Amino acid sequence: MYFKSIVIKKRTLGLAALVVVGLGLIGLGWLNGQSKFLSRHVSAPADNNSSSLQVNNTGGFKTNSNDVGVAGNVNGSKPQQSNNEAVKDVLTDKNKKTSEFFVEYRLQREKMRGQRVELLREIINNQATSADSRQKAQDQLLVISSNINKETEVENLIRAKGFKDCVVFLQNQSVTVIVQSEEITSEDAARISDIVSRSTGISAQNVVTIPKP
């Protein structure tokens, strides 16, 4: 009986340790996944001395505002196209790729959150889970639900300010906002930070705003 009791306790302790590790990995997996997605699709601002058309990591184009036109043959476009037609084609392609980024980000966010929620529910519903670990998993579910509501609210408020689209990434006590825009002025950044701060309670100094052309 004594030996059996020790085995049971060891198994219980082992399960508790796995649950704690699992909760940590769930959080790290979510953060790492979002960070990798952003690093793949959001590039740093281009140098002012670079060429008029610059391809970023997603295949989008960045144009310098002081350029009058582009050569007729842009990425295989027909030579007989006028400069205006070529520019229109490039901008249309760029806008399409930018729109796809925001759609893809939201799908990725929903998918990863769904996986995270599923794992947390498995921990909660497992009869062998300790009361402490179950409570931690329930707390994380509440945080996820709260973050979803806050991100959605902030995105709607920012779009209401005239921006075409945006996505918000809430991570602990910091927020990253990606806005569909050629550039973000200091006034725009201040307005966005104020919206985020009012909606989430996070300090404006912990809000990072990134333009996505």
**Per-residue pLDDT tens digits for 171-191:** 889 999 999 999 999 999 999
pLDDT exceeding 70 applies to what percent of the chain? 55
Q: Is pLDDT at 145 greater than 80 in this prediction?
A: yes
pLDDT of residue 79: 47
- Per the structure, the complete domain to which residue 163 belongs is given by 2-212
Q: Which of 138, 154, 136, 134 is nearest to 204 (CA)?
A: 154
Q: What are the pLDDT digits (tens) for 50-67?
A: 333 333 443 333 434 444
Instruction: Say how many residues make up the chain.
Output: 213
pLDDT of residue 144: 94
Strand, helix or coil at 17?
helix
Residue 83: give its domain's CATH number: 1.10.287.4300
CA gap 37, 112 in Å, rounded: 11
Per the structure, how many domains does the chain have? 1
Give the pLDDT band of residue 170 (cuts 50, 70, 90). very high
Secondary structure of 91-155 as H, E, C letters: HHHHHHHHHHHHHHHHHHHHHHHHHHHHHHHHHHHCCCCCHHHHHHHHHHHHHHHHHHHHHHHHH
Q: What are the pLDDT digits (tens) for 16-33?
A: 444 444 555 555 554 565
DSSP letter assigned to residue 12:
H
CA gap 31, 190 in Å, rounded: 25
The dihedral sign for the CA sequence 49, 163, 108, 22: positive
Q: Which residue has the tokens 């910091």?
A: 174
Instruction: Among 11-15, 22-26, 209-213, name the one with the lowest average pLDDT.
Output: 11-15
Q: Is pLDDT at 204 greater than 90 in this prediction?
A: yes
What tokens appear for 105 in the block? 């980000």
pLDDT of residue 85: 53
pLDDT averaged over the chain?
73
